[in-house]
């Protein structure tokens, strides 16, 4: 009854609220693969939930969870209306084939078990990992938050279990870097037991990955996580029978509450010791046609002893039928590569002729058929409770008219709270630092060590640590948005706009994270599936003004723009965004003018995060910041101090000291006049000394390039030191301008010192360095130029050395041009 219609209807034509069956997926390559693993296959029911506020993308419900697709992508899915009373079983279920020969692995049993966690994004792997290991990795309710692998050793019974939290994937193809990573980890590291974390409330799609693990012929334990949600949904699953069918033991868990974890650990040991009664090697029966093809390819592969000892032949054969390029490449070393390739091609042709579908789709359909059949045998739905409350909530947050205002309100609230609430603890820390400085300066005798500690360490690090509260609050908000699932909705709403500048809705999250710190933001681009999107997003992130740049703005604004503080700050952030948009358009029309990838994204259910998780998450980010303070910033502060302290021109310093002594002895002067003269001499001494120091020489060296921007050599020095980390700009200024954190009154604080600076060389000699124009240009320069060493290193790691070098030149050149334009045009007006 399916497929014999002449005029086709497409998913994009279906109005909100209606449900249809999928009859065919058009398109090819990445799009098709992606859409398949998310469950858009023949015979599945889809419901149109709603349009994004800008009418695109569209939210759909499939297999009981929510997905977003762009309109243009939904137009590639052929559908058919659901006919009342039409209860046909659309899937093909052949059950399993049990391997007769027992597996002989021959791995010597040690007391160390390597366990890898594998599962869909958002299935609770990281939560489970944290619970099991007692560690503090971040958890997020946003697809792909786990971008780095984490490891932890857990001692349980007589075993040492080595847990690895792998990135979340929907399947194990070669489609995203995460998938390749997981695949290589399983293939090369050969974990003893793989724990497949499965979201119980989303079984149908989650088991798709499980079918691939079955193909791989490895030891697996299923953690049936979110068992609470399954119960809440009122689904009755006989997981014991399902386990029997899959040949994989299933342990129900509720990771957030730590329920079922001991049973899970026990099961892992049992499976490792080959004691588990359920574990057996099964084959999914793909039907006689496909099985025949698998057999033929397998027979050819069997001729390669070395290779097939490492991988299951059946697995390789299935991968070949799926047109998996990296499997084919891996086989290149085989002597019979050509004939493997030939047989594969002819089998693919045979299947495609028969099924009139691409072979990858044929296999995926068979996998889903198997899952549907297995679930039909083991699931009996009880009364289904509607999750009305959450739905109403969502309707509000992604509402056509209210969606964006609500989002901007959250953004405003976030920044507002960050600064107003942060001001109080900031004051306390400032006082503490001042007190510490005073204490130390009385305890430690005058000399090099005194200067090092007071000026170098306390002056440098102290100037930066005061921003910790701001950063904590900002991270708290970002963590909260991630944990609740709101971030995914933001991507959903933003996709249309992001698409206009050649990006993907998902790029929005890394960009937003960039306001916290560019480094994790660059790492978060891994959640994007396509290299073009990843690189483009990475190149734009540095223009998202990170929190490290904030101290510089706050300092400059407080010194030179006392009237419109908020407005000026906002304008800096806005200019950053504007530059990012213009850069995106430039890149879109030059380097990256190719086609973009589908916007197939899961919209995870809203979850109320536990305060514990969110605080943990926040702390994780903040501790990275603290670590940076203790290492990069501390070392840089000392280095900068040393560069500005040495070489010591003893004669010159002695000369000044002599002059000062003479003034003090001069009987004809009043004590007030004396004080003035001494101060002037001391400042001159400091200035001359600094000019002759190593750092002064470096600043002088770059000054000619900076003079057209109105910058002097001291600014040059700050910019040089800012290469290490932007926070250091403030601490450098603290050291360079001898800001006195010991002083009680404000007369010595850094802002005032900055106001007093005058040019000491060139044609501007004698004039004030910082006019509001220069100050603004300086902030823009800080915003735009070379982000920091860590960011460049991250780009090098995530993209390539070439892109890292490109970023260095692109940002710095742009910064110069913008600051130049501001200063020159501003001076004319
Ligand atoms: P990962 O992407 O697989 O690492 O998933 P996470 O560990 O980041 O978890 C995703 C979300 O699911 C978080 O909001 C968790 O708090 C939540 N979560 C994890 N396990 C459970 C569970 O057993 N029950 C419920 N209700 N929520 C859970
Ligand atoms: Mg995770």
Out of 230, 232, 252, 256, give the residue to mutate to test ligand 1, the one with the largest number of ligand atoms within 8 Å of its CB. 256
Please give the number of the atom of ligand 1 that sits closest to the Cα of 139.
Answer: 8
Element (H, E) at 634: helix 634-645
Residues with CB under 6 A from ligand 1: 119, 121-127, 139-141, 145-146, 168, 225-226, 228-229, 254-256, 483, 607, 609, 613
Supply angle C-alpha 533, 579, 517, rounded to 5.
65
Of 119, 170, 201, 255, which is best to mutate to test ligand 1, by the most ligand atoms within 8 angstroms of its C-beta?
255
Query: How far does the centroid of ligand 2 lie from the alpha carbon of residue 119, in Å?
Result: 9
Q: How far is the centre of ligand 2, averaged over its atoms, from the C-alpha of 140 (Å)?
A: 7
Quickly tell me which residue has 């360490």 as its tokens: 457
**φ, ψ at 174 (rounded to 5°):** -120, 25
540 C-alpha to ligand 2 centroid (Å): 25
Residue 139 CA to ligand 1 centre (angstroms): 7
Q: Which residues surround ligand 2, an ion (CB under 5 A)?
A: 125-126, 146
CA distance 556 to 568: 10
Q: Which of 89-98, 580-589, 707-716 has the lowest mean pLDDT?
A: 89-98
DSSP 3-state helix, strand, coil percentages of the chain (rounded to 5)? Answer: 60, 10, 30
Mean pLDDT across the stretch 280-291?
88
Which ligand 1 atom is at minimum distance from the Cα of 146? 4
Sign (positive or negative) of CA dihedral 687, 688, 694, 697:
positive
Sheet holding 45-51, edge to edge: 9-10, 77-81, 19-25, 45-51, 58-62, 65-69, 601-603
| pLDDT of res. 503 | 87
Q: State the pLDDT at residue 592.
A: 78
H/E element, 367: helix 359-378
Query: CA-CA distance, 728 to 551, in Å (whole number)?
Result: 9
- For the segment 573-594, the average pLDDT, to the nearest whole number, is 89
Q: What is the spatial distance between Cα 607 and Cα 806, in angstroms, rounded to a whole number? A: 41
* Closest C-alpha to ligand 1, atom 13: 141
Q: For residue 371, which of 124, 168, 91, 97 has the smallest C-alpha distance?
A: 91
Tokens for 480? Answer: 């909260």
Contact 19, 83 (CB under 8 A): no
| H/E stretch holding 233 | helix 227-233
Domain at 99-284: CATH code: 3.40.50.300
Quick one: which ligand is closest to 257's CA? 1
**Predicted pLDDT at 722:** 87
Between the CA of 310 and the centroid of ligand 1 the distance, in Å, is 34
Closest atom of ligand 1 to 165 CA is 4
Q: Of all protein residues, whose CA lies closest to atom 6 belonging to ligand 1?
A: 124
Residue 253 Cα: closest atom of ligand 1: 23
Say whether pLDDT at 146 is over 60.
no
What ligand is nearest to the CA atom of residue 255? 1
State in Å: Cα 671 to ligand 2 middle: 69
Mean pLDDT in residue range 584-600: 76
Q: Which ligand is nearest to the CA of 223?
A: 1
Q: What is the rounded radius of gyration, in angstroms, for the C-alpha atoms of the chain?
A: 32
Closest by Cα among 157, 146, 92, 93 to 116: 146
- Chain segment 452-477, per-residue pLDDT in tens: 888 778 877 776 677 678 778 877 88
Quote the pLDDT of residue 596: 57
Residue 175 β-bridge partners: none
Element holding 823 (H helix, E strand): helix 801-828
pLDDT band at 778 (very low <50, low <70, confident <90, very high): very high
Beta bridge partners of 105: none
- Helix 313-321 vs helix 288-301: crossing angle, to nearest 10: 120
Task: Select from 3.30.390.30, 1.10.287.1770, 3.40.630.90, 1.20.58.410 the CATH code of 288-380.
Answer: 1.10.287.1770
Give Cα 455 to chain centroid, integer Å.
37
CA of 350 to the centre of ligand 2 (A): 41
Which of residues 215 and 430 earns the better pLDDT score? 215
Label residue 391 by pLDDT band (50, 70, 90): low
Which pLDDT tens digit goes with each residue over 49-77?
A: 988 888 889 999 988 788 889 898 899 89
Task: Tell me the C-alpha distance between 30 and 273, whole Å.
Answer: 40
Residue 587 tokens read as 């890149």
Atom of ligand 1 nearest to the CA of 254: 23
Q: Ligand 2 centroid to 168 CA: how many Å?
A: 7
SS3 285: coil
Taking alpha carbons only, the member of 166, 192, 195, 171 closest to residue 181 is 166
Q: How far is the CA of 265 from the centre of ligand 2 (A)?
A: 19
Share of the chain above pLDDT 70, in %: 89
By alpha-carbon position, which residue is closest to atom 18 of ligand 1? 124
For ligand 1, atom 14, the nearest C-alpha belongs to: 141
Choose the most confident range, by mean pLDDT, from 136-145, 237-246, 736-745. 237-246
pLDDT tens digits for range 646-663: 887 788 888 888 888 888
- C-alpha 456 – ligand 2 centre gap (Å): 40
Q: For residue 617, is pLDDT > 80? A: no
Alpha carbon 774 to chain centroid, angstroms: 35
Q: What is the mean pLDDT of residues 87-99?
A: 67
**What are the residue ranges of helices labelled H in 381-517?**
388-397, 403-443, 448-451, 459-465, 468-484, 486-500, 508-513
To which H or E segment does residue 652 belong?
helix 650-665
Ligand 1 atom having least distance to the Cα of 483: 14
Q: Which two tokens stand for residue 171?
A: 């399947």
| Distant-in-sequence contacts of 259-264, Cβ < 8 A, 24+ apart | 259/227, 259/228, 260/223, 260/227, 261/128, 261/131, 261/132, 264/132, 264/195, 264/221, 264/223
| Cα 730 to ligand 1 centre (Å) | 40
Q: Find the mean pLDDT for residues 524-549.
A: 85
Superfamily classification of domain 9-90: Ferrous iron transport protein A (FeoA) (2.30.30.90)
Interval 738-775: pLDDT, tens: 655 444 444 447 777 788 887 776 677 777 888 999 99
pLDDT at 6 over 70: no
Find out whether the peptide bond into 647 is cis, omega within 30 degrees of 0: yes
**Closest listed ligand to the CA of 123:** 1
Cβ neighbours of residue 179 closer than 8 Å, sequence gap 6 or more:
169, 171, 172, 173
Nearest ligand to the CA atom of 233 = 1
- The structural domains of the chain, with segments of one domain joined by +, span 9-90, 99-284, 288-380, 403-593
d(CA 25, CA 76): 6
* Residue 114 alpha carbon to ligand 1 centre in Å: 23
**How far is 719 from 701, CA to CA, in rounded Å?**
13
Q: pLDDT grade, residue 628 (50/70/90)?
A: low
pLDDT tens track for 15-28: 999 999 998 888 87
Cis-peptide into 57, omega within 30 deg: yes
Q: What string of DSSP letters covers 252-268?
A: E-BGGGTBTHHHHHHHH
pLDDT bracket for residue 382 (50, 70, 90):
low
Atom number of ligand 1 nearest to Cα 129: 7
Band of pLDDT at residue 5, cut at 50, 70 and 90: very low
Higher confidence at residue 481 or residue 124? 124
Which residues make Cβ contacts (< 8 Å) with residue 555, sequence separation at least 6? Answer: 730, 733, 750, 751, 754
The residue length of the chain stands at 829
Q: Which residues pair with 78 in a beta bridge?
A: 10, 24
Strands 235-237, 379-381: pairing is antiparallel
Beta strands in 94-241 (DSSP E): 96-98, 112-119, 150-156, 159-165, 193-199, 220-225, 235-237
**pLDDT at 653 (0 to 100):** 80
What's the token pair of residue 519? 């480094």
Closest Cα to atom 27 of ligand 1: 226
Q: How many Cα atoms are found within 13 Å in the side-chain-facing hemisphere of 272?
A: 26
**C-alpha to C-alpha distance for 737 and 393, rounded to whole angstroms:** 53
Distance 127 CA to ligand 2 centre (A): 7
Residue to mutate (ligand 1; options 127, 197, 255, 260; most atoms within 8 A of CB) = 127
Helices (H), 693-771: 694-706, 713-722, 727-736, 750-756
Atom number in ligand 1 closest to CA 197: 3
Q: Which of 124, 152, 387 to mutate to test the pocket of ligand 1 (most atoms within 8 A of CB)?
A: 124
SS (H, E, C) 237-256: ECHHHHHHHHCCCEEECEHH
CA distances from 178 to 82, 182, 529, 647, 772 (A): 37, 6, 9, 52, 48
């Amino acid at each position: 009854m399916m497929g014999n219609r002449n005029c086709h209807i497409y998913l994009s034509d279906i109005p909100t609220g209606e449900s249809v069956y999928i009859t065919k997926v058009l398109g090819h390559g990445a799009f098709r693969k992606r859409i398949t693993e998310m469950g858009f296959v023949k015979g599945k029911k889809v419901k149109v939930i709603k349009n994004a506020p800008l009418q695109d993308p569209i939210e759909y419900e499939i297999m009981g969870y929510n997905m977003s697709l762009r309109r243009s992508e939904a137009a590639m899915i052929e559908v058919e209306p659901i006919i009342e009373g039409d209860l046909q079983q659309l899937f093909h279920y052949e059950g399993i084939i049990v391997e007769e020969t027992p597996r002989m692995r021959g791995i010597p049993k040690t007391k160390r078990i390597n366990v890898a966690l594998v599962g869909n994004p958002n299935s609770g792997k990281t939560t489970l990992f944290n619970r099991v290991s007692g560690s503090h990795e971040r958890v997020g309710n946003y697809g792909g938050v786990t971008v780095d692998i984490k490891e932890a050793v857990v001692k349980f019974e007589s075993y040492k279990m080595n847990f690895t939290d792998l990135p979340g994937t929907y399947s194990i193809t070669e489609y995203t870097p995460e998938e390749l990573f997981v695949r290589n980890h399983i293939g090369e590291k050969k974990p003893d037991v793989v724990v497949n974390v499965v979201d119980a409330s989303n079984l149908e799609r989650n088991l798709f990955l499980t079918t691939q693990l079955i193909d791989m012929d490895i030891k697996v334990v299923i953690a049936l996580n979110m068992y609470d949600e399954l119960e809440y949904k009122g689904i009755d699953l006989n997981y014991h029978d399902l386990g029997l069918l899959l040949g994989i033991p299933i342990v129900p868990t509720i990771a957030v509450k730590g329920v079922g974890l001991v049973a899970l650990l026990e099961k892992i040991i049992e499976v490792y010791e080959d004691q588990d009664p359920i574990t057996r090697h099964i084959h999914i029966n793909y039907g006689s046609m496909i099985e025949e093809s698998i057999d033929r390819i397998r027979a050819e592969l069997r001729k390669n002893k070395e290779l097939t000892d490492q991988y299951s032949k059946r697995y390789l054969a299935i991968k070949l039928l799926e047109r998996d390029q990296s499997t084919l490449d891996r086989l290149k070393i085989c002597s019979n590569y050509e004939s493997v390739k030939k047989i594969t091609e002819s089998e693919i042709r045979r299947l495609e002729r028969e099924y009139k579908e691409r072979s990858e789709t044929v296999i995926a359909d068979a996998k889903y058929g198997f899952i549907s059949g297995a679930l039909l045998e083991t699931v009996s739905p009880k009364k289904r409770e509607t999750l009305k409350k959450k739905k109403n909530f969502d309707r509000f947050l992604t509402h056509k008219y209210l969606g964006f205002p609500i989002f901007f309100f959250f953004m405003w609230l976030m920044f507002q709270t960050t600064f107003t609430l942060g001001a109080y603890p900031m004051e306390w820390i400032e006082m503490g630092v001042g007190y510490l400085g005073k204490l130390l300066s009385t305890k430690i005798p005058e000399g090099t060590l005194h200067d090092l500690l007071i000026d170098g360490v306390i002056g440098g690090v102290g100037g930066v640590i005061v921003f910790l509260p701001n950063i904590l609050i900002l991270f708290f908000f970002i963590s909260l948005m991630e944990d609740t699932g709101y971030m995914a909705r933001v991507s959903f709403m933003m996709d249309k706009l992001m698409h206009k500048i050649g990006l993907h809705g998902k790029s929005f999250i890394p960009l937003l994270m960039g306001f916290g710190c560019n480094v994790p933001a660059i790492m978060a681009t891994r959640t994007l599936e396509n290299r073009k999107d990843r690189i483009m997003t990475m190149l734009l992130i540095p223009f998202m003004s990170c929190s490290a740049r904030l101290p510089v703005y706050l300092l400059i604004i407080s010194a030179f723009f006392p009237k419109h503080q908020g407005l000026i700050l906002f304008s800096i952030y806005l200019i950053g965004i504007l530059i990012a948009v213009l850069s995106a358009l430039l890149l879109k029309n030059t380097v990256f003018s190719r086609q973009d990838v589908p916007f197939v994204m899961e919209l995870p259910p809203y979850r109320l995060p536990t305060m514990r998780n969110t605080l943990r998450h926040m702390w994780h980010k903040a501790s990275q910041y603290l670590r940076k303070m203790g290492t990069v910033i501390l070392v840089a502060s000392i280095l900068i101090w040393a560069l500005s302290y040495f070489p010591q021109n003893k004669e010159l310093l002695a000369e000044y000291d002599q002059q000062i002594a003479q003034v003090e002895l001069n009987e004809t002067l009043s004590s007030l006049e004396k004080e003035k003269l001494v101060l002037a001499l001391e400042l001159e001494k400091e200035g001359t000394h600094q000019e002759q120091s190593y750092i002064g020489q470096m600043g002088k060296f770059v000054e000619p390039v900076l003079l057209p921007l109105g910058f002097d050599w001291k600014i040059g020095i700050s910019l040089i030191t800012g290469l290490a980390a932007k926070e250091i700009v403030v601490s450098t200024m603290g050291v360079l301008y001898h800001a006195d954190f010991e002083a009680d009154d404000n007369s010595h604080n850094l802002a005032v010192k900055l106001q007093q600076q005058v040019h000491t060389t060139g044609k501007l000699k004698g004039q004030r360095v910082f006019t509001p124009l220069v100050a603004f240009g300086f902030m823009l320069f800080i915003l735009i130029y070379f982000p920091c060493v860590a960011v460049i290193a991250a780009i090098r790691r995530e993209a390539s050395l070439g892109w890292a070098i490109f970023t260095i030149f692109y940002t710095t050149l742009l910064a110069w041009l913008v600051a130049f334009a501001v200063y020159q045009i501003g001076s004319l007006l």
